[in-house]
Amino acid sequence: MNRIQNRKALLVIDVQENLVNPNSKIHIDPIGIDLFFDNVNKAVSRFNNNEDDVIYVVNEWTNPIQNWMTGNVCKKGGKGIGLDKRLMIINDKIYSKSKPNSLTNKNLLKYLKENEISDIYVAGLLAEGCVKATVKGLKSEKINVFVIEDALGSKSQKNKNAVLDYFDKHDIRRVKVIEI
């Protein structure tokens, strides 16, 4: 039996209630939020239909100063840190992290390696924060990274554009949901 080549996975980062709530201290730009959810859910559906992995990551901060400064927006065990109800959740592959790079969760990295996942498609929040840090981490692990540009949320369009420019300058491939 031949080994499966180029196993793909979708990594959905930090699509948590507080981070999409405009009343939260840290949140995405509410303009276009419906389109954001539509695109993330289309990506989840496509990966699921192709029997590719869909992996969710949530931010759970334990640093009391960080929590205080952010109004407990991602405080471990706090209110509103769960995956948002508008997000299509198709499995229980949910990994938590307390730092921007999702790969700081060693169990996630172990899962990717054990399952020989070579291509990661990234969607989620915040483009200028945890998405960027995770993409850099994936590149350093020599994993092919594709950023789904229309399934990224950011504090502002200006911030998002700056991150997309960064990805272009560092040869990180961008795709749109329609292309996956």
State the total domains in the chain: 1
**Residue 167 lies in domain:** 7-179
Q: What pLDDT is recorded for position 5?
A: 66
Residue 156 has pLDDT above 50, yes or no: yes
Q: Is residue 101 part of a domain?
A: yes
Q: Is residue 115 part of a domain?
A: yes
Collect all residues with Cβ–Cβ distance below 8 Å to 3 and sequence separation of at least 6: 116
Model confidence at 56, in pLDDT bands (50, 70, 90)? very high
Interatomic CA distance for residues 145 and 136, integer angstroms: 9
Interatomic CA distance for residues 88 and 67, integer angstroms: 27
Residue 2 has pLDDT above 70, yes or no: no
DSSP 3-state of 130: helix
Model confidence at 41, in pLDDT bands (50, 70, 90)? very high
Q: Is residue 2 part of a domain?
A: no
Note whether 160 and 127 are within 8 A (CB): yes
Q: What is the CATH number of the domain that holds 167?
A: 3.40.50.850
DSSP string, 30-87: STTHHHHHHHHHHHHHHHHHTT-EEEEEEE-B--HHHHHHTTTTTBTT-TT-SBPTTS
Q: What pLDDT is recorded for position 71?
A: 84
What is the mean predicted confidence (pLDDT) over 3-31? 89
Q: Is residue 13 part of a domain?
A: yes
Q: Is residue 108 part of a domain?
A: yes
What whole-number percentage of the chain has pLDDT above 70? 97
pLDDT, tens digit (0-9, with 9 covering 90-100), for 79-100: 989 999 999 999 999 999 999 9
What is the mean predicted confidence (pLDDT) over 121-143? 96
pLDDT, tens digit (0-9, with 9 covering 90-100), for 66-82: 888 888 888 899 898 99
Q: What pLDDT is recorded for position 3?
A: 47
Q: What pLDDT is recorded for position 70?
A: 85
Collect all residues with Cβ–Cβ distance below 8 Å to 28 and sequence separation of at least 6: 19, 20, 36, 125, 126, 153, 154, 155
Q: Is residue 50 part of a domain?
A: yes
